[in-house]
Amino acid sequence: MTTTAPRDEQLWSRCAGCSSLLYRKRLRRNLDVCPECGTHVRLGAPQRLAQLVDPDSFRALPDRVVEVDPIGFVDVLPYPNRLAAARTGTGLDEAVLCGTATIAGQPAVLAVMDFRFLGGSLGCAVGELITRAAERALADRVPLVLVTASGGARMQEGALSLMQMATVSQAIGVLREAGLLTVSVLTDPTYGGVAASFATNTDLVLAETGARMGFAGPRVIRQVTGRPLPEGFQTAEFLLRHGQVDMVVPRRALRGRLAALLAAAAGAARPAPAGSAAAQVASGGTAIAAVPAPRAAGSAPAEPAGAAPDVPVRSPVDRRGPGATPDPVDAWDTVRAARHPGRPTTLDYLDSAFDGFVELHGDRLGADCPAVVGGLARLDGRPVMVIGHQKGHTTAELVARNFGMASPAGHRKALRLMRLAARLGLPVVTLVDTPGADPGVDAEEQGQAAAIAESILTMTALPTPVVAVVTGEGGSGGALALAVADRVLMLRRAVYSVISPEGCAAILWPDSPAAPRAARALRLTAPDLSRLGVVDQIVSEPDGGAQADPQGAADELRRALSANLAPLLEVPRAALVRRRRERFRRFGAAGSLAVKR
Ligand SMILES: [Zn+2]
């Protein structure tokens, strides 16, 4: 609802759905649902909590956010100024409010996001706070309830915000293994990195009436496809129809429905975890199993200043590019180098850096995505499972491979092959080269957000060594879906980013072509990400780049992979998973210790 004249702001609101002029107190009494047309007005986190939990039962967790600005991001305003404004505007420290409470007497830990705070964007502090909430749920052995409202990852924190998708997902994974219920309640809007992680990889997913959820937002999809969207696209009813949520619940029924679910879960005497995460995954198991989660809705929340709806930029077929030049110094030059159509693709590397590749196809659920290839191969004589994004060198190849943009079927094929590798005791090597996950209408209908979320969560517990290499473009959630690894390597001229520079520029500098500036602000080059700890090793490229000497590049890649894989093969599986989780757990606090007690 928008308000009418400022003078009347406190007393009256005009409904955005039916334009009725409503007395505010009446609206509030009706839980901020229009009594005339049923439009659900967005709620801030404190108001949401007041509606959901028993009176006086909420106890905020003691964690407090300190100032963070991990990459020194400046657009037209320095990021700390935006944070300060959001704090003043909302009275909150961050975009999520976490605490313990009871709902109709049932104890739970809640994490409630607030869209007013930089678009509910997921940054290091938000990731850390939700992770701590999950850890509290584990300690108290109570369910975790997440109420989501977010435009996506917080681009002002660069790739570190992308890492939060893994950090929070693994906390959800630990609760799954402990037999503790996790529930997400999707509210309007839930998009991007939040949709593609903890909004959809929980046990149960409820959508509030009026919620929209999706991996890509409608504006981005329209821009990419050039077509109008189907009626009701990404709405709660759409999500229900496409199998992505368990139920659609009107606001007035939400508290009662949550109470009933929590009571049912509490009533089922849950056995202690029967085995390690590893065992469960390897057996195709229950805890971390492949049930595609429901997924997101996107709305066109006018791009909040923080969130990152992204338009993948397809590689142009353009043979210009950095010729025989030294490694690019400028970030934008690196972006252009990473997109060079002459760079070796995953299939090229499978031919040149590996031996005996046997491709395996299909997600076993109805499709085979050409943008993801995978199968069995040998690396220096050692059998491995290799999975990677596939682009192409010509326009025809790029079109046939959907520019390396994976569909949900691609993510599910990757997941199937990773689980197979774990069962067979094979290490996994992933080659990441994608502008981003497919942002199409079909992809949304088939559960793109949930497919990515499940892949990320599964990789946090995969009981076999995983080494990921960003070989070209590491585009946001689609890249992370193959990059939750024990060791993350990056070619010198590759890039890895929470959002494309073009997408970032369109939001922050709408009036000027600012992609080069955005590229620099995002810290997306290999040296940047190595400094931030996102990348463990930079793989050098031949003079002029990988496309100038593909066999030289393949040799470098093979040597780096072997060197990184060998020590991992000696690590017991439980220790492997524990260390991988520690690796991603660090990113929560990486933004200079985001939270203190
Ligand atoms: Zn109305």
| Cα 111 to averaged position of ligand 1 atoms, centre (Å) | 29
- Model pLDDT, residue 314: 66
> Do residues 98 and 129 make contact, with C-beta atoms less than 8 angstroms apart?
yes
39 C-alpha vs ligand 1 centroid, how far in Å? 5
What is the rounded CA–CA span in Å between residue 589 and residue 222?
36
Ligand 1 centroid from CA 195, angstroms = 27
Whole-number Å distance, alpha carbon 17 to ligand 1 midpoint, is 5
Distance 24 CA to ligand 1 centre (A): 12
Is it true that the peptide bond before 567 is cis, omega within 30 degrees of 0? no
Q: How far is the CA of 336 from the centre of ligand 1 (A)?
A: 49
pTM for this entry: 0.90
Cα(267) to centroid of ligand 1, in Å? 39
pLDDT score recorded for residue 563: 98
Rounded distance from Cα 15 to ligand 1 centre (Å) = 5
Q: Do 451 and 411 touch, CB atoms closer than 8 A?
A: yes
Beta bridge partners of 33: 40
Burial of 64 (0-12, 13-18, 19+ CB in 10 A): middle
Q: What are the pLDDT digits (tens) for 541-584?
A: 999 999 999 999 999 999 999 999 999 999 999 999 999 999 99
26 Cα: distance to centroid of ligand 1 (angstroms): 12
Cβ neighbours around 88 below 10 Å, total: 9
**What does the pLDDT read at residue 76?**
85
> In DSSP terms, which residues pair with 2 in a beta bridge?
14
Mean pLDDT of each 10-residue bin along the chain, 597 residues long: 50 93 94 96 97 98 84 90 95 96 98 98 95 97 98 96 97 97 98 98 98 96 91 97 98 98 80 46 37 35 48 55 67 97 98 98 97 98 98 98 98 98 98 97 97 98 98 98 98 97 90 90 97 96 96 98 98 96 83 45
81-130 pLDDT per residue, tens:
999 999 999 999 999 999 999 999 999 999 999 999 999 999 999 999 99
> What's the gap between Cα 81 and its chain centre?
25
- Separation of CA 582 and ligand 1 centre (Å): 48
Output the CA–CA distances (angstroms, integers) from residue 38 to 35, 207, 284, 493, in the order listed.
6, 15, 43, 52
Long-range contacts of 380-383 (CB under 8 A, 24+ apart): 380/558, 380/562, 381/355, 382/427, 382/562, 382/565, 383/426
- Answer whether 495's CB lies under 8 Å from 434's CB: no
| pLDDT reported for residue 299 | 35
What local confidence, expressed as pLDDT, does residue 74 receive?
87
Between CA 298 and CA 306, with CA 300 as vertex, the angle to 5 degrees is 90
